[in-house]
Chains A and B, each alone.
Chain A
Amino acid sequence: MQHIVEGVIVVNTETIAGKVITKNLGVVGGSTVRAKNVGRDIFAGLKNIVGGELTAYTELLDESRNQAISRMIADATARGANAVINVRFATSAVTAGASELFAYGTAVVVE
């Protein structure tokens, strides 16, 4: 669940301690829509009857979010940024079983 990309600092605060923001490169984002396969869906549906954590969906959303973040970082590095600040996440359900995960932030150059 930990996501560290070498060379790019990703934070959801507006400033980074010990660093000075020298250039603002605008908002960058990355998103993904993913669904689990039918077999896992049925299994999760069974687990849902009993209640509690649905591990298959926890994993699915975690993977998707990792992908969204890496896309955001790719977008930022393409603009020549070395940090992304004020990152926010948005989740929306497109249809049952598929979710859109969206991560966005401001690409900046820090020193």
Chain B
Amino acid sequence: MVRQMSEPIIGLLIGVSILIAILGILWTLLFTGMFVYAALFSTKNIENKGVEVAQREAQTLQKFGKDPLSNIRKQYRQDGTDSGLVYANVVYGPSYWHLMIGWFGNLVGGQINILHKVISTGRALATQRLREQAELAGWDEVLNVRIDTSALAPINVPSRVKAVEIFAYGTGVKYKGSEINNSIK
């Protein structure tokens, strides 16, 4: 009787442990594969993203005729008709390959070029998204732009995710009788 009861339980335990083992093997293979992919392509991907963002930026600048973002704190023109908050964010992180290069760079000291490139691409993306949000909402200009950078996890806590959040925000302003205002309406 006891044997009959315990057999399915033992079977279940074996099944679960095989499942865990398979998952472990899959994870090891997947991690290695992705790490190799990162080593081969992640620098190229970052560069491509930078080029794409620069193109989008050029388009937006052409549409506005100037850079709509500025960090003037005051609404300096008196003919503003409407204003409101506009913001955009991006969570951007280096690949494990970049982190490894960064770790080696840490030993030598000095500038770590690749990490700098990753973060500045992320920041360019966030500011470009802010411009696009402003365009979408029909603002003529964005004043008092601030760009915050914050780590996703506390610095002293080891975390799975190594990334920063870049958050850009400002005040969109619409002016009386501006061309952009008219073209959107």
User: Contact residues of A with B, CB < 8 Å?
Assistant: 1-4, 9-18, 41, 44-46, 48-55, 57-58, 61-62, 65, 69, 87-89, 91-97, 99
Contacts and interface: CB of A to CB of B under 8 A. Distances in A.
Given A1-B88, A12-B146, A17 B78 contact: yes
Given A51-B94, A91-B150, A97-B161, A46 B84 contact: no
Contacts of A91: 148, 150, 165, 167
Interface string B115-155: 00010001001000100010011000001101010111110
Interface residues of B, number: 64
Interface string B79-92: 11101111111111
Interface stretch (B2-10, B13-21, B61-69, B169-177): B169-177
Nearest to A16: B83
A89 B169 contact: yes
B60 interface: no
A10 B144 CA distance: 13
Contacts of A3: 85, 87
Given A61-B89, A93-B152, A12 B163 contact: no
Interface of B: 30-31, 34-35, 37-38, 41-42, 45-46, 49, 73-75, 77-81, 83-98, 118, 122, 125, 129, 133, 136-137, 143-144, 146, 148, 150-154, 157-163, 165, 167, 169-171, 173
A62 B85 contact: no
Contacts of B88: 1
A57 B161 contact: yes
Nearest to B129: A1
